[in-house]
Chains A and B, each alone.
Chain A
Amino acid sequence: MPESEPRLIRGYLEVLAAQLPGPIVEELADGLTETHRSYLSWGLSEDAAAEAAVAEFGSAEEILAGFARVNPARRTARRLLGFGPVVGGCWAAALATSRAWPGSFPARVALGLALVSCIGLLVVAALDRRYRVAFYSGVAGCVGFAALDASLIVGVLVVAGVASWVTALAMAFSSARIALCARAAAAAQQNT
């Protein structure tokens, strides 16, 4: 929004820009400018037209809540959290039957901590109403899970190979999860 725009509109867009990605704010700024111009063409003063345009747009809270609901990170996080117990159960069975559990105690602790951190990030992405917080938590959670899945697949292949159908199933689920994360990352790139 140029400097010449009324302070009310600039302030309104600054509130939105603090939470939403740049492209979304640019789109809203274009709409708000058009709304403002429309009121100016009806003969309203600069300030009155700005007040009318902002009132017509709705409160910043309403808009932020609307975008929070369509945040792609939220949807992906909810899918991953729903899918997670199935993948986790398969891996637990695969590791137990193939005796390919990470050997040392520190390795097991590291794996557990990484898993809990990724789940935590996805829970934040699924529930937090702040767009940026949900977005970046979702991206971090996706990257974490993709890395965990890749490590598990490579680790088990090296140690035990595809020892059973449960291992094959766990690897297939993990591959699907990596693909979902990659697709979500590509979609996220369009939003930022």
Chain B
Amino acid sequence: MRAEELKGHLDAVLLATLEGGPRHGYAVIEALRQTTGGRLDLPTGTIYPALRRLEQAGLIAGTWSVVGGRRRREYQLTPAGVRALSGRREAWRDFSAIVTSALENAGLENTACPSPNPA
């Protein structure tokens, strides 16, 4: 799956990767790879602006630490982020159920209600 296909859902996916505890940018990407079996094809660099956006929205909080002589920024969910993740998960389940139902039952609908015979 490419980045454009994920548009609108990236924030929820990033919030979900932080549900297990604080992670830095690269660890977020690794977690995304592991949870999706490597099927999410995102340029790594695009994750960082998205993390900043979530931080500005108050959904995650960043803190600095020093690891191996390098400064590292780690992010964790804020209480608002936990609530937002829960809401988005629920919205996704509803959306997914509706679309799945529409896609899988469309053929059955046509079979059950044949179009009227013009003759």
Contact = CB atoms under 8 A, between A and B. Distances in A.
B70 A30 contact: yes
B7 to A, nearest CB: 13
A23 to B, nearest CB: 8
Contacts of B46: 58, 62-63, 66
Interface residues on A, range: 20 to 34
A72 B49 contact: no
Contacts of B70: 26, 29-30, 33
Query: What is the predominant secondary structure among interface residues of chain B facing chain A?
Result: helix
A35 B44 contact: yes
B43 A67 contact: no
A78 to B, nearest CB: 14
A68 to B, nearest CB: 9
B26 A34 contact: yes
A31 interface: yes
B88 interface: no
Contact of A30 (B43, B49, B56, B72): B72
Contacts of B29: 31
Given A33-B70, A34-B26, A187-B56, A28 B49 contact: no
A31 B71 CA distance: 10
A70 B25 contact: no
Contacts of B45: 28, 31, 57-58, 62-63, 66
Contacts of A23: 64, 71, 73
Given A33-B70, A67-B52, A56 B26 contact: no
A70 B57 CA distance: 10
Contact of B44 (A24, A31, A33): A31
